[in-house]
């Protein structure tokens, strides 16, 4: 496996030309469902409000898509447009080619393009988890555990010696 490439997401945030695309031609990012809940205006009040807004006023905020027409931002707007049978949607094309990105780059790019969105607690957790390095997380857990144990030892000070002499454990009632 090749080493991960460094990509600069700030390049993608530069304003590009606004275009209109056929709703049917745009491709939802497959990894989007790993981070975010699906669009459901029948069960979710926010989704229903978005659906009604688009029905009444059209899409006011453009989508962001890659040069190979994969949606980075605007999955919910796109889903509403499809339900409403809108023939086209406004979008800005970024310089990214989705099919050339590694899976972790795809997730990072999706999270980066969706920072503005109000999210459920579960979506915020999934978004945060995608950026965690397992080795770094393990080291942090070990460090935190050691720091807690040291703090307990400092707090207990001479109490442990006294309780050891009395043959009593620190925690009573266990």
Residue pLDDT, tens place only, 32-45: 888 888 889 998 88
Q: What distance separates the 2 farthest-apart alpha carbons in the chain?
A: 81
pLDDT confidence of residue 3: 46
pLDDT at residue 121 in the model: 62
Q: What is the pLDDT of residue 127?
A: 67
CA distance 155 to 111: 42
Please choose, from the candidates 29, 38, 43, the residue with its C-alpha nearest in 3D space to the C-alpha of residue 122: 38
Enter the tokens of residue 60: 């006011």
The C-alpha angle 78, 74, 48, rounded to 5 degrees, equals: 65
Tokens matching residue 20: 């209109």
Beta bridge partners of 91: 19, 63
Rg, the chain, Cα only: 25
Query: What pLDDT is attached to residue 170?
Result: 44
Task: Please give the CATH number for the structural domain made up of 14-129.
Answer: 3.90.1530
Please, which pLDDT band fits residue 112 given cuts at 50, 70 and 90?
confident
Report residue 113 as tokens: 């393009």
Which helix (H) or strand (E) segment holds residue 64: the answer is strand 63-65
Q: Which residue has the tokens 């899409």?
A: 59
Helix, strand, or coil (residue 73): strand
Q: Give me 85's structure tokens.
A: 């049978």
Which two tokens mark 83?
A: 């339900």
What is the phi/psi pair of residue 130, to 5°? -65, -20
Top-ranked range on mean pLDDT: pick from 29-38, 135-144, 150-159, 161-170: 29-38
Residue 153 is predicted with a pLDDT of 81
- CB atoms inside a 10 Å sphere around CB 76: 25
Break the chain into its structural domains and give their ranges: 14-129, 134-165
| Contact criterion met (CB below 8 Å) for 127 and 53 | no
For 39, 113, 150, 164, the CA distances from 54, given in Å and listed in that order, are 14, 21, 57, 70
């Amino acid at each position: 496996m090749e080493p991960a490439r460094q990509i600069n997401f700030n390049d993608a945030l530069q304003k590009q030309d606004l275009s209109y695309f056929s709703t049917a031609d745009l491709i939802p990012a497959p990894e989007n469902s790993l981070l975010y809940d699906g669009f459901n205006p029948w069960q979710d009040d926010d989704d229903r409000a978005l659906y009604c807004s688009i029905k009444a006023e059209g899409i006011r905020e453009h989508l962001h898509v890659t040069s190979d027409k994969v949606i980075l931002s605007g999955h919910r707007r796109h889903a509403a447009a499809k339900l409403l049978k809108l023939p086209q949607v406004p979008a800005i094309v970024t310089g990214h080619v989705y099919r050339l990105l590694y899976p972790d780059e795809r997730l990072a790019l999706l999270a980066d393009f969706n920072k503005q969105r109000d999210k459920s607690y579960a979506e915020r957790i999934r978004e945060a988890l995608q950026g965690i390095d397992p080795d770094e997380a393990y080291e942090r857990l070990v460090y935190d555990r050691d720091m807690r144990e040291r703090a307990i030892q400092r707090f207990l000070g001479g109490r442990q010696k006294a309780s050891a002499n009395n043959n009593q454990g620190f925690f009573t009632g266990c």
